[in-house]
């Protein structure tokens, strides 16, 4: 099956910087994990809270970061790929990226057990990392990747990625405006989400290359 070139993560010409960034974001996540109880991070969280709390416009974006909404979109995306392309590897990529990312951050929340901000009617689940930040980035970046993978978007490709980045940022920030998470939870969520996404991309590309190698070896 032939695919046209796609932009940010490379077509036939592999771009290395997204993978290097994935390593950096994983390091950032680990750094926040071991430092979120320090005075510097607490001061940062307090400053971000005072700056952003109560912003009703940004708060609205938490709806598109809800788990049920994300899984619904992911299912629709898989059905679309199956109907129009019959690309089961790409469907597997969506499942591992979105579904695996959900399982990953849920596991980490239970391992780290950071309490949420102290406000009335707060959720009883743990705070670090922010699930909205992780999952929101993952499904939006996965959609952008799949669209770039399936279609020649040319200049529209950049618009798709910019839209995905902006929406992922707004979903994450909405958790600070509602005081549902600390800012460090959100940044850690973005970092973990991107690292998991780029790992899934790397693995998906390796499966394609292995299939091509087998095909060429058999001829």
Residues with catalytic roles:
132, 181
Q: How far is CA 191 from CA 29, 124, 125, 188, in A?
A: 6, 24, 20, 5
What is the DSSP annotation of 41-99? HHHHHHHHHHHHTT-HHHHGGGGGG-HHHHHHHHHHHHHHHHHHT--HHHHHHHIIIII
Largest CA distance in the chain: 67
- Per the listing, tokens 């095909």 go with 215
d(CA 26, CA 191) in angstroms, rounded, equals 6
Run of H or E residues at 25: helix 17-35
d(CA 28, CA 218) in angstroms, rounded, equals 44
């Amino acid at each position: 099956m032939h695919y046209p070139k796609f932009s940010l993560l490379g077509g036939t010409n592999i771009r290395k910087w997204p993978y290097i960034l994935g390593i950096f974001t994983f390091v950032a996540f680990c750094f926040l994990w071991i430092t979120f109880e320090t005075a510097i991070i607490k001061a940062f969280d307090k400053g971000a809270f005072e700056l952003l709390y109560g912003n009703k416009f940004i708060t609205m974006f938490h709806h598109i970061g809800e788990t049920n909404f994300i899984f619904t979109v992911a299912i629709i995306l898989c059905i679309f790929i199956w109907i129009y392309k019959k690309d089961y590897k790409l469907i597997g990529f969506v499942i591992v990226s979105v579904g695996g990312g959900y399982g990953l951050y849920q596991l980490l929340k239970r391992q780290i057990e950071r309490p949420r901000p102290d406000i009335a009617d707060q959720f009883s689940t743990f705070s670090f990392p922010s699930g909205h930040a992780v999952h929101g980035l993952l499904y939006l970046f996965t959609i952008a990747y799949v669209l770039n993978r399936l279609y020649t978007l040319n200049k529209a490709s950049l618009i798709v990625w910019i839209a995905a980045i902006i929406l992922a940022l707004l979903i994450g920030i909405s958790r600070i405006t509602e005081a549902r998470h600390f800012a460090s939870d959100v940044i850690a969520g973005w970092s973990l989400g991107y690292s998991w996404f780029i790992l899934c991309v790397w693995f998906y590309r390796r499966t394609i290359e292995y299939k091509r190698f087998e095909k060429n070896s058999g001829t």
